[in-house]
Amino acid sequence: MKSAADRFAWALTYCQKVRLRVTPARELVLNQLAVHCNPLSFEALIAAEPLRDRCDAATVYRTLMLLKDAEIIRQIGLPQKTSYFVLNSPDTICQYLICRRCGSISELALGRAVQRLAQTKAASRGFSATYLELEVYGFCPECQKRMNLGSPFRNRHS
């Protein structure tokens, strides 16, 4: 796993490669994603400190769509309805451990073997340019405690 600076640099280089202007807004978004390795929601992005004051939500939105189409970032799917985004740098492994109660996300590296297996199987079905996304859902230690105490805490619903 490279440093945030490396990841940011990679992103800028990639932008140039695909001839995408690096505007202040885009720099801010890319930097935010480079710093946080974990997926960030649209909401989290527009609320993040340096971005909040300097960019309109619409701009961030359009930036994300642009970056996604250029495959500089990846939009990942989580059951919470908002979209999440991660930088798509070569070292990115989208394998996460997610709490189904509080929604916290952390990395969970299961290794490259899974990656390779997936690649191979997908290729045998004629799929190209594949990438893996893997999530393990469960109850995090904190939420288990909260549940035992019968806390009224709820993420969503019931």
Given the rule CB under 8 A, which residues bind its own copies? 65-66, 68-69, 75-81, 83, 97, 99-100, 106, 108, 110, 114, 117-119, 121-122, 125-141, 144, 157-158
* 13, 50, 56, 138: which one binds DNA (CB under 7 A): 56
* Residue 58 contacts DNA per CB under 7 A: yes
- Residue 58 binding partner per list DNA, its own copies, none, with a CB distance cut-off of 5 to 8 Å that depends on partner kind: DNA
Number of CB atoms found within 10 A of residue 69's CB: 11
Interatomic CA distance for residues 129 and 148, integer angstroms: 45
100 and 138 in contact (C-beta within 8 Å)? Answer: yes
Interatomic CA distance for residues 83 and 105, integer angstroms: 14
CB of 157 to DNA, least distance (A): 7
- Residue 122 binding partner per list its own copies, DNA, none, with a CB distance cut-off of 5 to 8 Å that depends on partner kind: its own copies
3-state secondary structure of 77: coil
